[in-house]
Structure 1
Amino acid sequence: MTRSAGSIDSEHRRVVLAAMIGTTIEWFDFFIYAICAGLVFAGQYFAALGEGALILSFATVGISFFFRPVGAVVAGHLGDRIGRRSVLILTLLLMGVSTVLIGLVPTTATIGVAAPVLLVLLRILQGLSAGGEWGGAALLAVEHAPADRRGLYGAFPQIGVPIGLLLANGAFALVAALTTAEQFLAWGWRIPFLAGVALIAVGLVIRTKVVESPVFEEVRRAEARSRVPVVVLLRHHWRLVLAGALVFAANNAVGYMTTGGYVQSYAVKSLHLDRSTVLAAVMVSALAWLASTLVGGLLSDRYGRIRVYRIGFAVQLAWMFPFFALVDTGDVGLLVLALVLFSVGLGFTYGPQAALYAELYPTAVRYSGAALSYALGAVLGGAFAPTIAEALQTSTGTVHSVGAYLAAVTVVGLVASSFVPDRRGRPLDAADDRPHEPGPASKTADP
């Protein structure tokens, strides 16, 4: 059915709002674990390891990343077979339930070794959900968008991540302000996890009202769906998957300095800054990340996805060592300044991502391709970035070794961007579903 441009815009506004809110809830749940890994879990669940407790606590943040590709493959298969909308509802439920259960896990002092085991198992469930969530939310937004505004509209599910970070840090800052240090460690930290009950309800109401992607519906009507999308993807598009993963890894490793809780932990435990103050500083930086992500998506519509990525990587590289120098002063004002400018490069290497990944792959394997590139990039980049940062700082005695590590990762992303084609504005419909690398069309390439 033909729609006017106005009706498309109106429908798409509802879709991107739903994608953004759902992604915000999903990542709020994911980030509160990472924050607690630095502030709570080391002492409550891994204290028996002594000095290694904090490193292992951060490692549990990374363990879940190894299950993201599994979640990406499963969600990608379902998303390319039954649709984006249904999978997004499933991933939201999985994330919400596992988050609430984390808030109920007794400490090691109460149930012994079962406590960290349960914690890790529930974190793995979060990883499965996160692996499948992003691809669906990104594609739902981009596949509804006008061709010349995919970068901007695709940036809306992207800003769910900084909003989730903002809310996660805000929740803990509020709890920390209303409790004593002893109360916070005893039970206060559980409140944001248990709040997931309400968030699940809100997210489900929103996502059940979202209409399916018109691009996917066209593929369904044309009976052009792949029987085993991931096999077709890896047979014809594995180079794109790998290159896309390396590009995202450079963003993800740097981003996990705050989203993974490393900066918060370092500022509180090594620089002895007030916990609430540090969380508030990260909240300010989340706003800057949100704004730069939207700007990055908008600019990618005008100047190209890869060009904006390269600008972002250049900013990341230039700011890396000044960032840690300012953080290391222990001055709150300089910490805020460091984090805000740090977020500019992050936004420019994050805002164009949804549109870039959507335009890389044919519709029949698009969910699988986008989700797997994203999940593998997260494994290579952010999975153990906080753990590596903590280990480097401990072994070298200086936070600048962390800056060197992140600078090297950024260079890898910059180089990898040369191997990712910029297909800004290409048709996303089924008629254009020819493989973008040598090989037969996906409709006839199924095993």
Structure 2
Amino acid sequence: MTSAIVVFFLLLLIGTPIALVMVMSGLGGAMQLGGVNFLGIIADRMLSGVSGYLLMAVPYFIFTAELMNQAGLTERLIAFNNALLGRVRGALSHVNIMVSLFFSGLTGAAITDTVAVGKIMIPAMKRQGYTPAYSAAVTACSSIIGPIIPPSVVMVVYASILPNISVLELFAAGIVPGFLMTAALLVASGFMAWWFRFPRHGDSSLKAAARAFLPTVPALLVPFIILGGILGGLSTVTEASAFAAVYTILLGLFLYRSLTWKKLWQSLVTTVQFSGVVFFLLAASTVLGWFVTRSGIARDAASMIAAVSDDPTMQILLVNLLLILLGMVLDVLPALVVVAPVLVPAMIQLGFDPLHFAIVMILALNLANITPPVGMTLMTASQIAGVAYEKAIAASVPFYLSHLAVIVIISLWPGLILWLPALFD
């Protein structure tokens, strides 16, 4: 076990890509456990890590998200929310959050949301008098709703790593936390609008909102197609994701007529690139997960947590702190594939519900998107806004605190998320 840990941290410190870190750590652990004879296991583990039927849904979800971006759905969502919230002070700030809520049900990825929404909303907010730093902050912090509201690429990856939880249960359990995150962000946005006297966007009416909403209806059916098929037992996750991609292509080509063959090709290229990253991470994580299982690290982790405190509240809050600190050096997916095989068995051994802890862990690791120095969505939004990363970090503090509040609430009251999945048992 010692050699694997030394290799892991040494390679991480010198900036080695995380997938290679996990493979090399697994190799070191295999050598320590069984010598050269165990090296043949590595290739077999990597293959098994990416051969699950469920994982076929990942490229389909990514492809659907890219198609939605290319088809111009973002502009339609923004127009609808502008018409709905235009009279409210700080309207564009609230619109930014609401668009992310709608968009998360279509993409399931934070960085996709940041780019698609940010390229339109950030310039519009700057023209209305919002500071570039605030515009970047609200865009990035609302984008991280994406991995929580189903469909979620992160949840599909989680279900493939730890098959004791189904992706259907994860999707159902993510709905309430996603809405709580939205509500908390709107509260923070409302306070900031009052404090800084942000402008109203303009007059609006229910008629204007309805007129802006109607063109978005066909596209907004995508999450209902996915979730309705899965939760209703009509299709598997993979089948629903494939149908959603086909449906989106038909919308873009024949209804909206905004999806060209060039844009379709670009969506395919982006899908292949992103999917390659995800699958390489999964293959590498399987190697490290195998070593964690064989070496008993999970059992030791449970003992360490129990030694610190025997109070379940303190235990889960300490683990949340650990996960948030981990997010300072690792992005969401790499962090998930590294720690899930260790922490999940440990927390189950301590008596925590596996579905509850799965959502808590995804929520806590999701903060990595806006936690410096990594903070990929916050960094991306600051680049779009043309503002220093440090200023965007400072402006994101109220929204960061609202996310922390949701994590604490979900951690301490598991019934909030467990009641909905129970309806589908």
Task: Normalising by structure 1, report the TM-score.
Answer: 0.32
